[in-house]
Structure 1
């Protein structure tokens, strides 16, 4: 009899548990989706026009008052990390000959001298967004400029200098920008002059004004 009572109690307890648990729905685990952070960086390419001017007041203390002017094609490539900083490379290639005008004479250089200029530079580009479509910027870096004269294949010089610039850009669309800037390619105090191979002391300045179009990918 005692065994029968225990069996009935066990069956009753199991039935009660089954009834009580019949309405319990299984709890599904919550799956959290990973947060994707979109990159604000962008590559960009550009092309433009540059007006190049070089002045040299003297070479090895000989007063020459040299000035050279030429038109340039400006090629631009860079990467903008965010709205405040970018890195940029530029290449200037003279269109036609640059004409020197010199008041003095040194190493046979006097009057007009035609030649080909080219320059390149690499820069850190701090930027400040004035509005959503208008930015101002600076260029801080290194530039190299060379001249190869037509009259004498051995008449060649180059110089490597600290370079800086100031400019602004305006967004025509989300991807297309127009820019205008001034870039100082250096104020050399010496350069290597072939065919002599010697280092010349100079007092001069190299700079360019540029306008162009940039496409940001």
Structure 2
């Protein structure tokens, strides 16, 4: 009697872990567990380094006397993108190579800018720079007006993203825009070129720079 009860209990336990289907005993199928996607927010920070062409255009102390000078230098930029349409950027630049060995109006500039921008597809980004900067000049070999002033500064530029959109994707991750940025805001390397008027004042000479270089978005 006890033996029969034991056999019945074993049979019931077996039936609890199997399912009868079409006369066959099959193990229950477990539904696959799908991973929950993680929402990814790209880092808003970027840095850049470039070379620049600088121009000083002003009077040279005499009636009707004008002077234009070209120098070359370097630029460091760093910024924070609040969205694909707006960010802030800080810049430090200086020129140190003279186009003419005996003359040269070296430029020094530091500034902070609002950066409105607009992505042109997935690779290009056009932007403006609107802010405050401090500009200094150092004169050699000519009777030129030296500048050591701050004021409104502005510029316009274009960025190009070198990274591959597919390389930026992370498995089981949701991106707000389908990937981790717009224009040149994807993680990785990019290129930039821009024009900037260092100080917009009627009382100072025209000082312009054209810059180009590389950026890295974190």
Same fold (TM over 0.5): yes
Could you tell me which residue of structure 2 aligns to residue 163 of structure 1? Answer: 153
TM-score scaled by length of structure 1 = 0.63
RMSD: 2.8
- Deviation, structure 1 residue 213: 0.4
Of the three residues 174, 177, 182, the one matched with 2:190 is 177
Deviation string 1:146-182 (CA, Å, 9 cap, x unpaired) is 1223569xx8531222111111111001411101111
Question: 1:42 touches 1:81 (CA, 8 Å); kept in 2?
Answer: yes
Deviation string 1:29-81 (CA, Å, 9 cap, x unpaired) is xxxxxx9764344211110111111111476x843212121001011111112
Q: Which has the higher contact order (CA 8 A, sep 6+)?
A: 2
Question: 1:99 touches 1:115 (CA, 8 Å); kept in 2?
Answer: no
Q: Which has the larger Rg?
A: 1
Question: 1:161 touches 1:187 (CA, 8 Å); kept in 2?
Answer: yes
Q: Is the alpha carbon distance of 1:63 and 1:99 closer, same or farther for their aligned partners in structure 2, counting shifts above 3 Å?
A: farther
Q: How does 1:1-217 map to 2 (within 5 A)?
A: 38-57=40-59, 62-97=63-98, 113-150=103-140, 156-173=146-163, 174-190=187-203, 202=204, 204-217=205-218
Could you tell me which residue of structure 1 aligns to residue 181 of structure 2? Answer: none
TM-score scaled by length of structure 2 = 0.63
Q: Is the alpha carbon distance of 1:156 and 1:186 closer, same or farther for their aligned partners in structure 2, counting shifts above 3 Å?
A: closer
Counterpart Cα distance in 2 of 1:163 and 1:176: 27
Could you tell me which residue of structure 1 aligns to residue 166 of structure 2? Answer: none
Unaligned stretches of 5+ residues in structure 2 = 1-36, 164-186
Partner SS, residue 63 of structure 1: coil
Q: Is the alpha carbon distance of 1:71 and 1:126 closer, same or farther for their aligned partners in structure 2, counting shifts above 3 Å?
A: same
Partner SS, residue 198 of structure 2: strand
Q: Is the alpha carbon distance of 1:57 and 1:95 closer, same or farther for their aligned partners in structure 2, counting shifts above 3 Å?
A: closer
Counterpart Cα distance in 2 of 1:91 and 1:132: 28
Question: 1:142 touches 1:162 (CA, 8 Å); kept in 2?
Answer: yes
- Deviation, structure 1 residue 135: 0.8
Counterpart Cα distance in 1 of 2:40 and 2:48: 25
Question: 1:88 touches 1:123 (CA, 8 Å); kept in 2?
Answer: yes
